[in-house]
Amino acid sequence: MALVSRVLVAGAGIGGLCAALALAKQGVHVVVLEQAQALGEVGAGLQMSPNAMKVLRELGLEPELSAFAFVPQHAAIRHYKTGEYYLKSPLGEQAEARYGAPYWHLHRADLHQVLAQACSQAGVELVLNSMVTAYREDAELNQVYVLLEDGREFYGDILIGADGLRSKVREQMLGEERPTFMGQVAWRGVISASDLTVDVKPDACVWAGPGRHFVSYYLRGGDYVNFVAVEERSDWQSESWREEGDVEELRQAFADWHPEVSQLVAAASSTFLWALNGRDELPTWRHGRVVLIGDACHPMLPFMAQGAAMAIEDGYVLAEYLLRYEWSVALTKYEQIRKPRATKVQQMSKANAGLYHMHGGVFGKAKLRALQAAGCFAPQVIQSKLDGVYGHDVITRWAKE
């Protein structure tokens, strides 16, 4: 049985680098084609739940990442004005004991840097300033060729499209289609904890309010606070994470919220604003020798904090199948196992928008009260809903293959 020996990856994001690292550690020659002129990730926080941490641990990254991590003590949902808790579910040591891996907050740039360094050490060939524009398959040579914007070509046994929401690989595979604007925009930013005049709890906290919500949590051992503020709007559709937002507009939008929110945004010196976009479930994630991972095939709203985690799972699972099976079998198995899970998490994320934004009037508020009651009197119900996400283990399942 001939396994892959040379793999192309379009995109050096977190999912693409995880796939590259998993393959390279087992002797596969991996070429990562990245359109940026320099490798780096813009500043933002990530919530790394246990399902993702199990993969990062398996890839040998946990020790180095621990220096950058913050361990939240609870996952919380609070009322936007009163601060009343609708949910306060334990994380920290309890989450690690329950799921077999920690729940960490990491700065995206830190995770990306550690991944990139590990890839380099494993022999991954990283080619910068390389915009993928098209691919073609050669049946006689059993190869796939990638064409870059500058005319260069690269070949491999498999092409992994990890090139994000606006994936050129997905576009050629399934046709040109604009992503769907979800009617929401998000501000994000990072604030030095030393600049704050308010005590921010050591939790992964969602502040739920009418038509908008606010997320705050610590990064880098507690030295910084990351925030994401989401508002329902129809007048902004920029997809760039580097589009600078108006800090004063952000402050006004949350001026009448709980002091822990309003004083936090008052300390922000800059912010970025981007539109939240998605796609309907794709008919397929693969065609021939080409396969998609991460946002290229399942972009999701950030309301379960699982976007990066799903890409990490994708990359590892795809690599394991390619290391164990003939390529066509591997790609089929990958899609069969990953598509249902990612689609379910997409749906859960979308449903949380209504909960966080108090949709449904009295009925919407009743759902929050029901969540509050469950947390008080039947916390196992809350945990069971998270178990399917956080408890998922893509590492140990290989023993059953």
Q: Rounded to a whole number, what is the largest CA-CA distance in the chain?
A: 67
Q: What is the CA radius of gyration of the chain?
A: 21
Closest by CA to 160, choosing from 150, 148, 170, is 170
224 is catalytic: no
Distance CA 159, CA 396 (A): 26
Bridge partners of 10? 33, 161
Start-to-end CA span in the chain (Å): 17
Q: What does DSSP say about strands 212-219 and 204-209: parallel, antiparallel, or unpaired?
A: antiparallel
What SS3 class is residue 387?
A: helix
What is the rounded distance in angstroms from the CA atom of residue 162 to the CA atom of residue 170? Answer: 9
SS3 per-residue string spanning 324-365 = HCCHHHHHHHHHHHHHHHHHHHHHHHHHHHHHHCCCCHHHHH
- Reduced to 3 states (helix: H, G, I; strand: E, B; else coil), residue 267 is coil
Do residues 253 and 266 touch, judged by C-beta distance below 8 A?
A: no
The single residue of 99, 103, 217, 390 carrying the catalytic annotation is 217
Around Cβ 156, how many Cβ atoms within 10 Å? 22
| Phi and psi at residue 160, to the nearest 5° | -105, 115
**CA–CA separation, 78 and 341 (whole Å):** 28
In 283-336, which ranges are E strands? 286-287, 290-292
Cβ proximity of 230 and 101 under 8 Å = no
Burial class (CB in 10 A: 0-12, 13-18, 19+), 234: exposed
Strand segments (E) across 84-131: 85-90, 104-107, 125-127
Q: For 111, what's the count of Cα atoms within 13 Å in the CB-facing half-sphere?
A: 31
**Mind telling me the catalytic residues?**
217
